[in-house]
Amino acid sequence: MNLVDQMLEGNVKALTRLITLIENQSSEIIKIMPKIYKKGGQALVVGITGPPGAGKSTLVDQLTTLIRREEKKKVAVLAIDPSSPFSGGAVLGDRIRMQSHAKDSDVFIRSLGARGSYGGLSRATKEIVRLFDVFGFDIILVETVGVGQSELGIMEVADTTVVVLVPESGDTVQTLKAGLLEIANIFIVNKSDRPNASQMKHQLMEMVGLEHLEKEKWLIPVLQTQAIKGTGIEELWAKILEYAAFLKKNHAVLEHKKRQERRGEFLEILTLTYQKEFLRRAQKETKLKLLLEDVENGAKDPYTAASQAVRKI
Protein backbone atom coordinates (compact mmCIF):
# COMPACT_ATOMS: atom_id res chain seq x y z
CA MET A 1 0.00 0.00 0.00
CA ASN A 2 1.41 3.40 -0.86
CA LEU A 3 2.07 6.27 1.55
CA VAL A 4 -1.02 8.25 0.62
CA ASP A 5 -3.39 5.32 1.16
CA GLN A 6 -1.68 4.52 4.47
CA MET A 7 -2.04 8.12 5.55
CA LEU A 8 -5.70 8.19 4.53
CA GLU A 9 -6.25 5.12 6.69
CA GLY A 10 -4.93 7.00 9.69
CA ASN A 11 -1.33 5.85 9.80
CA VAL A 12 0.58 8.57 11.66
CA LYS A 13 3.98 7.38 10.44
CA ALA A 14 2.80 7.76 6.84
CA LEU A 15 1.56 11.26 7.69
CA THR A 16 4.93 12.16 9.18
CA ARG A 17 6.79 10.82 6.17
CA LEU A 18 4.61 12.81 3.80
CA ILE A 19 5.28 15.97 5.81
CA THR A 20 9.01 15.32 5.52
CA LEU A 21 8.65 14.98 1.75
CA ILE A 22 6.94 18.37 1.68
CA GLU A 23 9.61 19.94 3.87
CA ASN A 24 12.30 18.66 1.56
CA GLN A 25 10.40 19.96 -1.46
CA SER A 26 10.56 16.45 -2.86
CA SER A 27 9.55 16.00 -6.47
CA GLU A 28 7.16 13.27 -5.25
CA ILE A 29 4.87 15.98 -3.90
CA ILE A 30 3.61 17.01 -7.27
CA LYS A 31 2.39 13.44 -7.80
CA ILE A 32 0.97 13.04 -4.30
CA MET A 33 -0.97 16.27 -3.76
CA PRO A 34 -3.37 15.94 -6.70
CA LYS A 35 -4.53 12.61 -5.22
CA ILE A 36 -5.76 14.23 -2.04
CA TYR A 37 -6.77 17.63 -3.40
CA LYS A 38 -10.47 16.81 -3.68
CA LYS A 39 -10.68 15.12 -0.32
CA GLY A 40 -10.96 16.97 2.96
CA GLY A 41 -12.22 20.50 3.35
CA GLN A 42 -13.88 19.54 6.64
CA ALA A 43 -11.29 20.95 9.05
CA LEU A 44 -11.46 24.38 10.63
CA VAL A 45 -8.12 26.08 9.99
CA VAL A 46 -7.21 28.79 12.50
CA GLY A 47 -4.18 31.00 11.96
CA ILE A 48 -2.44 32.54 14.99
CA THR A 49 0.09 35.24 14.20
CA GLY A 50 1.79 38.14 15.94
CA PRO A 51 5.20 39.52 16.87
CA PRO A 52 7.82 37.39 18.61
CA GLY A 53 7.26 37.14 22.33
CA ALA A 54 3.52 37.84 22.17
CA GLY A 55 2.77 34.45 23.71
CA LYS A 56 1.40 32.67 20.64
CA SER A 57 2.74 29.25 21.63
CA THR A 58 1.14 29.42 25.05
CA LEU A 59 -2.12 30.57 23.51
CA VAL A 60 -2.06 27.70 21.02
CA ASP A 61 -1.28 25.30 23.82
CA GLN A 62 -4.21 26.54 25.91
CA LEU A 63 -6.56 26.50 22.93
CA THR A 64 -5.56 22.90 22.26
CA THR A 65 -6.23 21.95 25.88
CA LEU A 66 -9.65 23.63 25.77
CA ILE A 67 -10.69 22.02 22.51
CA ARG A 68 -9.61 18.59 23.71
CA ARG A 69 -11.40 18.99 27.03
CA GLU A 70 -14.65 20.54 25.82
CA GLU A 71 -15.18 19.11 22.37
CA LYS A 72 -13.00 16.03 22.08
CA LYS A 73 -12.07 17.13 18.56
CA LYS A 74 -8.80 16.08 16.94
CA VAL A 75 -6.29 18.92 16.88
CA ALA A 76 -3.23 19.44 14.68
CA VAL A 77 -0.78 22.27 15.33
CA LEU A 78 1.63 23.60 12.72
CA ALA A 79 4.16 26.07 14.13
CA ILE A 80 5.98 27.99 11.44
CA ASP A 81 9.15 30.04 11.63
CA PRO A 82 9.49 32.10 8.47
CA SER A 83 12.45 33.96 9.89
CA SER A 84 15.02 31.24 9.59
CA PRO A 85 15.05 30.62 5.86
CA PHE A 86 18.55 29.23 5.89
CA SER A 87 18.61 27.39 9.17
CA GLY A 88 15.99 24.85 8.29
CA GLY A 89 15.30 24.54 11.98
CA ALA A 90 12.05 25.52 13.59
CA VAL A 91 11.76 28.03 16.40
CA LEU A 92 10.89 25.70 19.18
CA GLY A 93 11.55 22.03 19.13
CA ASP A 94 8.53 19.80 18.71
CA ARG A 95 9.57 18.02 21.86
CA ILE A 96 9.13 21.07 24.08
CA ARG A 97 5.76 21.79 22.60
CA MET A 98 4.64 18.20 22.78
CA GLN A 99 5.06 17.89 26.52
CA SER A 100 1.61 18.90 27.73
CA HIS A 101 -0.15 16.80 25.10
CA ALA A 102 2.35 13.96 24.89
CA LYS A 103 -0.10 11.31 26.00
CA ASP A 104 -2.95 12.50 23.80
CA SER A 105 -2.83 10.67 20.49
CA ASP A 106 -5.48 12.97 19.03
CA VAL A 107 -3.14 15.95 19.18
CA PHE A 108 -0.44 16.22 16.56
CA ILE A 109 2.17 18.97 16.74
CA ARG A 110 4.73 19.85 14.14
CA SER A 111 7.18 22.71 13.64
CA LEU A 112 8.20 23.92 10.23
CA GLY A 113 11.30 25.98 9.52
CA ALA A 114 11.80 27.86 6.32
CA ARG A 115 14.21 26.44 3.82
CA GLY A 116 14.67 26.59 0.13
CA SER A 117 13.39 29.35 -2.05
CA TYR A 118 11.08 32.18 -1.08
CA GLY A 119 7.47 31.28 -1.34
CA GLY A 120 8.36 27.71 -0.48
CA LEU A 121 7.19 28.09 3.08
CA SER A 122 3.77 29.39 2.13
CA ARG A 123 3.31 26.49 -0.24
CA ALA A 124 4.59 23.91 2.27
CA THR A 125 2.19 25.26 4.88
CA LYS A 126 -0.78 24.86 2.57
CA GLU A 127 0.29 21.33 1.68
CA ILE A 128 0.79 20.21 5.29
CA VAL A 129 -2.53 21.75 6.32
CA ARG A 130 -4.20 19.82 3.51
CA LEU A 131 -2.60 16.61 4.76
CA PHE A 132 -3.86 17.29 8.28
CA ASP A 133 -7.29 17.95 6.85
CA VAL A 134 -7.61 14.73 4.85
CA PHE A 135 -6.02 12.77 7.70
CA GLY A 136 -9.05 13.71 9.76
CA PHE A 137 -8.01 16.47 12.12
CA ASP A 138 -11.03 18.62 12.98
CA ILE A 139 -9.16 21.72 14.07
CA ILE A 140 -5.86 22.84 12.58
CA LEU A 141 -3.99 25.59 14.38
CA VAL A 142 -1.34 27.32 12.28
CA GLU A 143 1.01 29.48 14.31
CA THR A 144 3.52 31.82 12.74
CA VAL A 145 5.94 34.43 14.01
CA GLY A 146 5.57 37.92 12.67
CA VAL A 147 2.95 39.87 10.84
CA GLY A 148 4.89 40.69 7.71
CA GLN A 149 4.59 39.99 4.04
CA SER A 150 5.61 36.37 4.16
CA GLU A 151 3.06 35.63 6.88
CA LEU A 152 0.28 36.92 4.66
CA GLY A 153 1.03 34.21 2.14
CA ILE A 154 1.04 31.69 4.94
CA MET A 155 -2.17 32.96 6.45
CA GLU A 156 -4.11 32.59 3.20
CA VAL A 157 -4.55 29.02 4.34
CA ALA A 158 -6.55 29.95 7.45
CA ASP A 159 -10.33 30.24 7.62
CA THR A 160 -9.94 32.45 10.67
CA THR A 161 -6.89 34.49 11.57
CA VAL A 162 -6.16 35.59 15.11
CA VAL A 163 -3.59 38.37 15.52
CA VAL A 164 -1.96 38.27 18.95
CA LEU A 165 -0.51 41.47 20.38
CA VAL A 166 0.66 42.56 23.83
CA PRO A 167 0.13 45.82 25.75
CA GLU A 168 3.54 47.02 24.50
CA SER A 169 2.62 46.53 20.83
CA GLY A 170 1.68 50.17 20.30
CA ASP A 171 4.52 50.75 17.85
CA THR A 172 3.77 47.56 15.98
CA VAL A 173 0.14 48.55 15.59
CA GLN A 174 1.06 52.01 14.35
CA THR A 175 3.55 50.56 11.91
CA LEU A 176 1.55 47.69 10.54
CA LYS A 177 -1.91 49.25 10.67
CA ALA A 178 -3.27 48.38 7.22
CA GLY A 179 -1.47 45.05 7.16
CA LEU A 180 -3.03 44.05 10.46
CA LEU A 181 -6.53 45.00 9.39
CA GLU A 182 -6.10 43.08 6.17
CA ILE A 183 -5.12 39.91 7.96
CA ALA A 184 -7.01 39.90 11.28
CA ASN A 185 -10.44 38.41 11.90
CA ILE A 186 -9.90 38.55 15.65
CA PHE A 187 -7.49 40.66 17.71
CA ILE A 188 -6.05 39.46 21.00
CA VAL A 189 -4.28 41.59 23.58
CA ASN A 190 -2.38 38.91 25.43
CA LYS A 191 -0.46 39.35 28.71
CA SER A 192 -3.33 41.64 29.60
CA ASP A 193 -2.31 41.82 33.26
CA ARG A 194 0.47 44.19 32.21
CA PRO A 195 0.07 47.98 32.29
CA ASN A 196 -1.56 49.63 29.26
CA ALA A 197 -3.52 46.53 28.29
CA SER A 198 -6.81 48.37 28.10
CA GLN A 199 -5.14 51.28 26.32
CA MET A 200 -3.90 48.82 23.70
CA LYS A 201 -7.36 47.33 23.47
CA HIS A 202 -8.90 50.74 22.84
CA GLN A 203 -6.27 51.63 20.25
CA LEU A 204 -7.19 48.47 18.36
CA MET A 205 -10.93 49.03 18.76
CA GLU A 206 -10.60 52.52 17.38
CA MET A 207 -8.66 51.21 14.39
CA VAL A 208 -11.20 48.46 13.83
CA GLY A 209 -14.07 50.93 14.15
CA LEU A 210 -12.73 53.17 11.40
CA GLU A 211 -12.27 50.16 9.15
CA HIS A 212 -15.71 48.87 9.97
CA LEU A 213 -17.41 52.01 8.71
CA GLU A 214 -16.12 51.14 5.26
CA LYS A 215 -16.54 47.39 5.23
CA GLU A 216 -19.54 46.95 7.55
CA LYS A 217 -19.40 43.19 7.57
CA TRP A 218 -17.57 41.48 10.40
CA LEU A 219 -16.68 43.81 13.27
CA ILE A 220 -13.24 42.48 14.24
CA PRO A 221 -13.50 41.77 17.98
CA VAL A 222 -10.68 42.78 20.32
CA LEU A 223 -10.27 40.29 23.19
CA GLN A 224 -8.02 40.33 26.21
CA THR A 225 -6.25 37.15 27.28
CA GLN A 226 -3.68 36.04 29.76
CA ALA A 227 -2.71 32.83 28.06
CA ILE A 228 -0.31 31.65 30.72
CA LYS A 229 -3.20 31.47 33.21
CA GLY A 230 -5.74 30.32 30.66
CA THR A 231 -7.76 33.53 31.06
CA GLY A 232 -9.88 34.54 28.06
CA ILE A 233 -9.29 31.32 26.11
CA GLU A 234 -12.95 30.28 26.17
CA GLU A 235 -14.03 33.67 24.84
CA LEU A 236 -11.41 33.35 22.08
CA TRP A 237 -12.63 29.91 21.08
CA ALA A 238 -16.23 31.15 21.03
CA LYS A 239 -15.24 34.02 18.72
CA ILE A 240 -13.35 31.66 16.42
CA LEU A 241 -16.47 29.52 16.06
CA GLU A 242 -18.59 32.63 15.60
CA TYR A 243 -16.41 33.79 12.72
CA ALA A 244 -16.56 30.34 11.13
CA ALA A 245 -20.36 30.51 11.34
CA PHE A 246 -20.31 34.05 9.89
CA LEU A 247 -18.30 32.81 6.91
CA LYS A 248 -20.64 29.90 6.33
CA LYS A 249 -23.64 32.21 6.34
CA ASN A 250 -22.03 34.76 4.04
CA HIS A 251 -21.46 32.39 1.22
CA ALA A 252 -20.35 35.05 -1.23
CA VAL A 253 -17.58 36.23 1.11
CA LEU A 254 -16.40 32.67 1.62
CA GLU A 255 -16.48 31.81 -2.06
CA HIS A 256 -14.59 34.98 -2.99
CA LYS A 257 -11.98 34.14 -0.34
CA LYS A 258 -11.67 30.58 -1.64
CA ARG A 259 -11.26 31.65 -5.25
CA GLN A 260 -8.55 34.13 -4.28
CA GLU A 261 -6.79 31.44 -2.24
CA ARG A 262 -6.92 28.92 -5.05
CA ARG A 263 -5.64 31.43 -7.58
CA GLY A 264 -2.82 32.49 -5.26
CA GLU A 265 -1.85 28.91 -4.53
CA PHE A 266 -1.88 28.03 -8.21
CA LEU A 267 0.33 30.97 -9.18
CA GLU A 268 2.80 29.99 -6.44
CA ILE A 269 2.93 26.42 -7.68
CA LEU A 270 3.04 27.55 -11.29
CA THR A 271 6.10 29.72 -10.82
CA LEU A 272 7.84 27.12 -8.67
CA THR A 273 7.12 24.45 -11.26
CA TYR A 274 8.45 26.69 -13.97
CA GLN A 275 11.56 27.60 -11.98
CA LYS A 276 12.29 23.92 -11.33
CA GLU A 277 11.82 23.14 -14.99
CA PHE A 278 14.18 25.95 -15.92
CA LEU A 279 16.89 24.85 -13.46
CA ARG A 280 16.52 21.21 -14.55
CA ARG A 281 16.99 22.11 -18.18
CA ALA A 282 19.77 24.58 -17.38
CA GLN A 283 21.81 21.65 -16.12
CA LYS A 284 21.46 19.77 -19.38
CA GLU A 285 21.09 22.25 -22.18
CA THR A 286 24.19 24.19 -23.11
CA LYS A 287 22.34 27.34 -24.17
CA LEU A 288 20.51 27.70 -20.86
CA LYS A 289 23.63 26.77 -18.91
CA LEU A 290 25.56 29.57 -20.62
CA LEU A 291 22.66 31.95 -20.04
CA LEU A 292 22.73 31.27 -16.31
CA GLU A 293 26.52 31.60 -16.19
CA ASP A 294 26.31 34.95 -18.01
CA VAL A 295 23.77 36.12 -15.45
CA GLU A 296 25.85 34.98 -12.48
CA ASN A 297 29.05 36.64 -13.64
CA GLY A 298 27.20 39.81 -14.54
CA ALA A 299 27.77 39.64 -18.29
CA LYS A 300 24.06 39.58 -19.02
CA ASP A 301 21.36 41.59 -17.27
CA PRO A 302 18.61 39.52 -15.62
CA TYR A 303 15.78 41.16 -17.57
CA THR A 304 17.11 40.30 -20.98
CA ALA A 305 18.08 36.85 -19.73
CA ALA A 306 14.61 36.24 -18.30
CA SER A 307 12.88 37.23 -21.53
CA GLN A 308 15.22 34.96 -23.49
CA ALA A 309 14.63 32.09 -21.08
CA VAL A 310 10.85 32.43 -21.16
CA ARG A 311 10.97 32.43 -24.95
CA LYS A 312 13.15 29.30 -24.98
CA ILE A 313 11.13 27.25 -22.50
Of residues 181 through 210, those in contact with its own copies by CB under 8 A are 182
Q: Which is nearer to its own copies, 49 or 226 (CB)?
A: 49
Q: Is 167 in the site for its own copies (CB under 8 A)?
A: no
The CB density around residue 72, as the number of other CB atoms within 10 Å, is 9
Q: Is 52 in the site for its own copies (CB under 8 A)?
A: yes
Q: Which is nearer to its own copies, 195 or 298 (CB)?
A: 298
Q: Which is nearer to its own copies, 40 or 230 (CB)?
A: 40
Asked if residues 78 and 129 have their Cβ atoms less than 8 Å apart, the reply is yes
- In order of 17, 190, 223, the CA distances from 232 in angstroms are 36, 9, 8
151, 155, 167, 243: residue in contact with its own copies (rule CB under 8 A): 151
172, 196, 231, 250: residue in contact with its own copies (rule CB under 8 A): 172
Binding segment toward its own copies, per CB under 8 A, in 7-15, 131-139, 230-238, 296-304:
296-304
Q: Is 40 in the site for its own copies (CB under 8 A)?
A: no
Could you give the 3-state DSSP secondary structure of residue 250? coil
Could you give the 3-state DSSP secondary structure of residue 289? helix
27, 217, 273, 280: residue in contact with its own copies (rule CB under 8 A): 273
Q: Which is nearer to its own copies, 1 or 178 (CB)?
A: 178
Report the nearest approach of its own copies to the CB of residue 194 (Å).
Answer: 13
Q: Which is nearer to its own copies, 70 or 193 (CB)?
A: 193
Interface with its own copies in residues 204-263 (CB under 8 A)? 258-259, 262-263
Which residue, among 130, 131, 135, 177, has the nearest Cα to 158 in the 3D structure? 130
238, 245, 301, 312: residue in contact with its own copies (rule CB under 8 A): 301
Tally DSSP H helices, then E strands, for the chain.
13, 7
Q: Is 303 in the site for its own copies (CB under 8 A)?
A: yes
Give the chain's largest Cα–Cα span: 65
Q: Residue 139: is it exposed, middle or buried by C-beta count within 10 angstroms (0-12/13-18/19+)?
A: buried
- In order of 35, 91, 147, 184, 210, the CA distances from 226 in angstroms are 42, 22, 20, 19, 27
17, 73, 177, 280: residue in contact with its own copies (rule CB under 8 A): 177
Number of residues lying near its own copies (CB under 8 A): 74
Interface with its own copies in residues 78-137 (CB under 8 A)? 81-87, 89, 91, 114, 117-119, 121-122
Q: Is 72 in the site for its own copies (CB under 8 A)?
A: no
Q: Which is nearer to its own copies, 286 or 297 (CB)?
A: 297
- In order of 121, 129, 202, the CA distances from 79 in angstroms are 12, 11, 29
Amino acid at 135: F
> How many alpha carbons lie under 13 Å from residue 162 in its C-beta half-sphere?
33
